[in-house]
């Protein structure tokens, strides 16, 4: 892919085995990374990718197997050991401190790795690396003021400041706009051309195929195959990942009978943001029964805040919300749930789950005090367990059982728990914000099918997403938000990605 010749291995993982209670996460897995190559690690949610990389980075200890740099076996007991060997890891959930500047975050990260650096030198390092790789990050801006795309680039800068030989990127494009994804791909190719070995964990197959040299596929903790880019197709990778040809990969909007009356309306709604700014400014829209209304926008466009306001999580600063003609703006989350509103939040960890509780407990949180899960104020454990077993099967949650703590699941399986909890009861309104974030392509297709099923049963579905392919694939209408306002509305059958992308970027329609 780059100008550096791919020489024999920079690192090798041989026979890595790691077991958790009831789960064999890695089953004698071997993996090789060469100098100057981009090597993708693919697999379904729960296939063992993050566990394998966690072992390489010292976040977990393998039960068996060994790690070699060149021909030398090394011991990696903690992240500092990995850093000393030249391994950097940009994880899916950022580790930046929001109230500190980019430069301050970089200085802290380097000091953790044993390298002392002044704040002035840290700012200079941010500027130098940002200019070198075209990342466009200002050193003295607080992280909390950055968009998600800018935060992702700040995380990458923090990793590059350690001058790594190996860079692990876990789902780096999951919340990026199309332009930002393309920009990231250019940076990845540049790093490989300079001799770095890059390990890319990703689910979007087209993005993987655009940048990689080789691909290793894991399934249920085992190696399935390693192949070079020239051998790989989306169809073949789909087979290797899930075991059969998956027509589900292609987003195809199923035919529908047609939308009905307005169910949920936002009337000149304004909502405040987390930092006191106006995040949603005078937005009006309506979601009809029997349709999927897509809400497109870049990160920071107001999508998240609008969905939270509709769900009752975030208060209005102006305007009104009506459901079936009734003003519900003053109602809380629980009251709106009783009216039939289901909410899949943008951040599953912060707003969707309680990590220390079990899967079964998380699946019944909103209805724990209702029959059949409770009687005379006492939780009926058998009913809770039976309910969880049913939803785990229906929504394909990869787990040894309902008694597992939800924090022990992979990110994708955590998302499935949230989706299962919100959709099992057939709500009349579904508010879904980034519902396929962190899901592999097959699981994402299953979510799309479920949203379409809810729509076809008569639900009014609002889908907020930055993924234009997703919106064009299953939405019936698409409203585009930009800068907290509605920039335009298009028919999904007639619109193209370019038209929507221009509206997302602020072009007049």
Residue 133 and residue 187 in one domain: yes
How many structural domains is the chain composed of? 2
Q: Which two tokens stand for residue 22?
A: 């009831």
Q: Please report, for the domain that includes residue 496, its CATH number.
A: 3.40.50.300
Q: Identify the CA nearest to 369 among candidates 357, 361, 377.
A: 377
Confidence check: pLDDT of 469 > 60: yes
Average of per-residue pLDDT across 127-145: 89
The rounded distance, in Å, linking the Cα atoms of 39 and 199 is 5
* pLDDT-derived band at 249, boundaries 50, 70, 90: very low
Q: How many CA atoms lie within 13 A of 64 on its CB side?
A: 10
Identify whether 350 is part of a domain. no
Identify whether 4 is part of a domain. no
Q: Which two tokens stand for residue 171?
A: 């789902």
Q: Which two tokens stand for residue 224?
A: 């399935």
Q: For position 367, what pLDDT does the model report?
A: 78
Question: What are the backbone angles phi and psi of residue 108, rounded to the nearest 5°?
Answer: -60, -40
Residue 210 and residue 303 in one domain: no
Q: Which two tokens stand for residue 125?
A: 């390092």
Confidence check: pLDDT of 178 > 90: no
Residue 221 and residue 267 in one domain: no
Identify whether 59 is part of a domain. yes
Q: For position 506, what pLDDT does the model report?
A: 60
Confidence check: pLDDT of 298 > 70: yes
Average of per-residue pLDDT across 209-235: 92
Identify whether 53 is part of a domain. yes
Confidence check: pLDDT of 386 > 50: yes
Give, to the nearest 10 degrees, the angle between helix 119-133 and helix 178-193: 100
pLDDT tens string 438-453:
777 777 888 899 999 9
pLDDT tens string 20-44:
877 789 999 999 999 999 999 998 8
Identify whether 199 is part of a domain. yes
Q: Where are any strands of DSSP class E within 328-468? A: 341-344, 374-375, 378-379, 429-433, 460-465
* pLDDT-derived band at 151, boundaries 50, 70, 90: confident
Q: The domain containing residue 277 runs over which residues?
A: 262-340+427-504
Identify whether 174 is part of a domain. yes
Confidence check: pLDDT of 328 > 90: yes
Lowest mean pLDDT among 150-164, 242-256, 322-336: 242-256
Residue 128 and residue 171 in one domain: yes
Average pLDDT, the chain: 87
* pLDDT-derived band at 248, boundaries 50, 70, 90: very low
Q: How many CA atoms lie within 13 A of 340 on its CB side?
A: 14
Confidence check: pLDDT of 321 > 50: yes
**pTM for the predicted model, two decimal places:** 0.71
Identify whether 413 is part of a domain. no
Residue 118 and residue 235 in one domain: yes
Residue 162 and residue 288 in one domain: no
């Amino acid at each position: 892919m780059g100008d550096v010749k791919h020489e024999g291995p920079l690192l090798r993982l041989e026979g890595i085995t790691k077991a958790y209670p009831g789960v064999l996460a890695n089953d004698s897995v071997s993996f090789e990374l060469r100098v100057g190559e981009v090597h993708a690690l693919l697999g379904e949610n729960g296939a063992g990718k993050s566990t394998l990389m966690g072992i390489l980075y010292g976040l977990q200890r393998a039960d068996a197997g060994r790690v070699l740099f060149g021909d030398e076996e090394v011991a990696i007991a903690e992240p500092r050991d990995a850093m000393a060997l030249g391994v950097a890891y940009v994880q899916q959930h950022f580790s930046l401190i929001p109230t500190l500047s980019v430069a301050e975050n970089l200085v802290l990260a380097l000091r953790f790795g044993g390298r002392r650096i002044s704040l002035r030198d840290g700012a200079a390092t941010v500027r130098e690396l940002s200019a070198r790789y075209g990342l466009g990050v200002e050193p003295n801006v607080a992280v909390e003021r950055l968009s998600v795309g800018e935060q992702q680039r700040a995380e990458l800068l923090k990793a590059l400041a350690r001058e790594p030989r190996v860079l692990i990127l876990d789902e780096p494009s999951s919340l990026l706009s199309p332009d930002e994804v393309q920009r990231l791909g250019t940076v990845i190719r540049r790093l490989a051309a300079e001799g770095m070995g890059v390990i890319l964990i990703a689910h979007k197959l087209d993005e993987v195929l655009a940048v990689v040299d080789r691909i290793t596929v894991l399934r249920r903790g085992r190696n399935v195959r390693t192949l070079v880019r020239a051998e790989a197709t989306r169809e073949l990778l789909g087979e290797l990942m899930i075991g059969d040809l998956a027509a589900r990969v292609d987003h195809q909007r199923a035919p529908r009978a047609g939308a009905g009356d307005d169910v949920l309306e936002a009337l000149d709604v304004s909502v405040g943001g987390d930092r006191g700014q106006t995040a949603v400014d005078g937005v009006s829209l309506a979601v009809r029964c029997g349709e999927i209304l897509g809400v497109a926008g870049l990160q920071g466009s107001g999508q998240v805040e609008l969905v939270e306001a509709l769900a009752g999580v975030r208060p209005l600063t102006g305007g009104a919300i009506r459901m079936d003609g009734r003003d519900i703006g003053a109602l809380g989350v629980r009251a709106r749930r009783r009216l039939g509103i289901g909410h899949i939040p943008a951040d599953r960890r912060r707003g969707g789950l309680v990590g220390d509780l079990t899967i079964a407990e998380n699946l019944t949180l909103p209805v724990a005090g209702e029959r059949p899960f409770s009687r005379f104020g006492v939780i009926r454990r058998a009913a809770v367990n039976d309910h969880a077993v049913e939803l785990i099967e229906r929504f394909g949650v990869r787990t040894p059982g309902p008694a597992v703590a939800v924090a022990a699941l992979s990110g994708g399986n955590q998302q499935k728990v949230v989706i299962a909890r919100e959709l099992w009861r057939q709500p009349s309104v579904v508010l879904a914000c980034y519902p396929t974030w962190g899901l592999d392509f097959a699981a994402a297709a299953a979510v799309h099918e479920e949203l379409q099923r809810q729509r076809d049963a008569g639900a009014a579905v609002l889908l907020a997403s930055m993924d234009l392919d997703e919106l064009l694939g299953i939405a019936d209408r698409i409203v585009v938000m930009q800068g907290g306002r509605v920039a335009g509305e298009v028919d999904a059958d007639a619109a193209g990605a370019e038209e929507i992308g221009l509206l997302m970027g602020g072009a007049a329609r």
